Amino acid sequence: MTGASAPGAVRVLAHGIGAQHDLPLSPFYAFAGAFAALFVSFLALGLLWSHSRFTGERAGRPLPAAVQRLTDARATRLTARALGLAAALYVVLALLLGPAGPDRNPAPGAVYVLLWVGLVPASLLLGPVWRPLNPLRTLHLLACRALGRDPEAGRPLPARLGLWPAAAGLLAFTWLELVAPDPASPTALLVFLGGYAAVHLAGAAVYGARWFAHADAFEVYSALLARLSPLGRRPADRRLVVRSPFNGLDATPRLPGLTATVCVMLGSTAYDGFSDAPRWITTVQTSALGRTTTATLGLAGAVALVAALYALCAGAVRLVCGRPAHPLGAFAHSLVPIALGYLVAHYFTLLTTEGPRTLNLLLGAGRPAAPPPPLGPGGVATLQVLAIVTGHVLGVIAAHDRSVRLMPPRRAVIGQLPLLVLMIAYTVGGLALLIA
């Protein structure tokens, strides 16, 4: 998971992690610590947490009125839109007119590092930051103003649409990043970005600006991660509030496609983990199906495995307790901190090394070298294990609170056993990717 260890800039940008087989991880201590954390948290919750404590959308302490006015000011919104649009135009021009190699062209790093990976800490600290920056929203707004049309006008979104387009968009982007033969080439990025923009601008033309909140992969990605931010808005009065991240997570809307979206986040990160293993590289290179087909099947298989395990868990909960009626959606929010733990474990070093290098390219440096990682191998290994285990413990807490709210008191704890088994399975998988 050290991006700098991959051979060449293209390899680094194509995979957020590199070879980690030399990290000083003790399998015994890693697995023992993870199991202990999960079991202790599960037992403590079962004994001490008998009533739901999260209040979701109602929670939060309002920020000062001056902060609210500054955030909602027209000048602030216009500045954010201008920055997002200017950054998008710069990337497109760099892809069209700049040098082909990612060691000299900042566009691939801007997309794969600053956008994709940088949205993680930005959304955790500031909330759903991609919504005000989204250049596609700005282009749609400008087009509507030119045509004298209300940006919100359009057909009602189909009830079953949910987040399914976002799940498909995330899968397409991760395919480009992890599977495409030359993901850092200007041609590949231009084709993807052009097609992506055309699809979503067409969707917004039909359904209005509300399309982006359901269908834009990066906006949904940022919004889901922002559920764990201490900053949020109360839907009832639109006030900016400071809240417990658990309340933000508890308020995650149960929309169709939510489970699929989180499973794509988890499965694609897991595939990124094992795609750099020597055994998988040999399989891809020697497969009779060809490299791209084999890698595509590997990515699809990783996402399908994550989804299948969760579906089995949800079915077991329904079988044991007889409720909730739709356990897939009821507990999908508990997968978000797990996905966050995987993202931190896999992409921390990439962001802290390739991020500064990309910024130096943006500032005009010729071929800047990536700075050394801020942590040594031992520090990276510790961070990765802590991120994965912490994400799963937070998932256990979120699932427990939802269980005691939805299930009969006598079955709330036993009904969580399938969820605990699922968390253990995900933890074993995540740690195995670090150690294998």
Contact predicate 303/309, CB 8 Å: no
What is residue 2's predicted lDDT score, i.e. its pLDDT?
A: 36
Contact predicate 253/161, CB 8 Å: no
Side by side, the strands of the sheet bearing 61-62 are 61-62, 240-242, 231-233
pLDDT, averaged across the chain: 85
How far apart, in whole angstroms, are the C-alpha atoms of residue 78 and residue 192? 27
Quickly list H helices, 275-376.
Answer: 278-286, 291-321, 327-330, 336-362
Terminal-to-terminal C-alpha distance of the chain: 12
How far apart, in whole angstroms, are the C-alpha atoms of residue 247 and residue 391? 16
Residue 210, pLDDT > 90, answer yes
More confident residue, 293 or 434: 293
Report the candidate in 385, 390, 401, 383 with the shortest Cα–Cα distance to residue 423: 390
In this structure, the number of other CB atoms found within 10 A of the CB of residue 139 comes to: 18
Residue 414, pLDDT > 90, answer no
Residue 19, pLDDT > 50, answer no
More confident residue, 19 or 333: 333
Look up the pTM and report it: 0.89
Residue listed under structure tokens 């993870």: 34
pLDDT band of residue 25 (cuts 50, 70, 90) is low
191 contacts: CB under 8 Å, gap ≥ 6? none
Residue 22, pLDDT > 80, answer no
Write out pLDDT tens, residues 55-99: 888 888 999 999 999 999 999 999 999 999 999 999 999 999 988
How far apart, in whole angstroms, are the C-alpha atoms of residue 245 and residue 251? 10
Residue 12 burial (CB < 10 Å; 0-12/13-18/19+)?
Answer: buried
Residue listed under structure tokens 């020697």: 286
pLDDT band of residue 29 (cuts 50, 70, 90) is low
What is residue 23's predicted lDDT score, i.e. its pLDDT?
A: 55
Residues 164-188, mean pLDDT to the nearest whole number:
93
What is residue 179's predicted lDDT score, i.e. its pLDDT?
A: 93
Residue 9, pLDDT > 60, answer no
What is residue 189's predicted lDDT score, i.e. its pLDDT?
A: 94
Residues 335-363, mean pLDDT to the nearest whole number:
89
What is residue 123's predicted lDDT score, i.e. its pLDDT?
A: 96
What is residue 1's predicted lDDT score, i.e. its pLDDT?
A: 38
SS (HEC) of 144-167: HHHHCCCCCCCCCCCCCCCCHHHH
Contact predicate 429/339, CB 8 Å: no
Contact predicate 105/98, CB 8 Å: yes
What is residue 322's predicted lDDT score, i.e. its pLDDT?
A: 65
How far apart, in whole angstroms, are the C-alpha atoms of residue 332 and residue 216? 19
Name the region of 218 (left: φ>0; alpha: ψ -120 to 50; beta: rest): alpha
What is residue 436's predicted lDDT score, i.e. its pLDDT?
A: 60
Residue 201 burial (CB < 10 Å; 0-12/13-18/19+)?
Answer: middle
Contact predicate 101/9, CB 8 Å: yes
Pairing of strands 231-233, 61-62: unpaired
Residues 342-351, mean pLDDT to the nearest whole number:
88
More confident residue, 261 or 370: 261
How far apart, in whole angstroms, are the C-alpha atoms of residue 316 and residue 319? 5
How far apart, in whole angstroms, are the C-alpha atoms of residue 42 and residue 36? 10
Residue listed under structure tokens 């959304």: 123
**What is the b/e burial string over 316-354, where b = at least 16 CB atoms within 10 angstroms of the residue's CB?**
bbbeebeebeebbbbbbbbbbbbbbbbbbbbbbbbbbbb
Question: Highest mean pLDDT: which of 46-55, 80-89, 420-429?
Answer: 80-89
pLDDT band of residue 217 (cuts 50, 70, 90) is very high
What is residue 337's predicted lDDT score, i.e. its pLDDT?
A: 93
Q: What is the CA radius of gyration of the chain?
A: 22
What is residue 10's predicted lDDT score, i.e. its pLDDT?
A: 46
C-alpha 115, offset from chain centre: 11
Contact predicate 185/100, CB 8 Å: yes
Residue 271 burial (CB < 10 Å; 0-12/13-18/19+)?
Answer: buried
Write out pLDDT tens, residues 131-164: 999 999 999 999 999 999 999 999 999 989 999 9
Read off the DSSP letter of residue 414. Answer: G
Residue 227, pLDDT > 60, answer yes
How many residues comprise the chain?
A: 436
What is residue 224's predicted lDDT score, i.e. its pLDDT?
A: 95
Give how far Cα 423 sits from Cα of 5, 38, 259, Å.
30, 8, 15
Lowest mean pLDDT among 235-244, 328-337, 357-366: 357-366
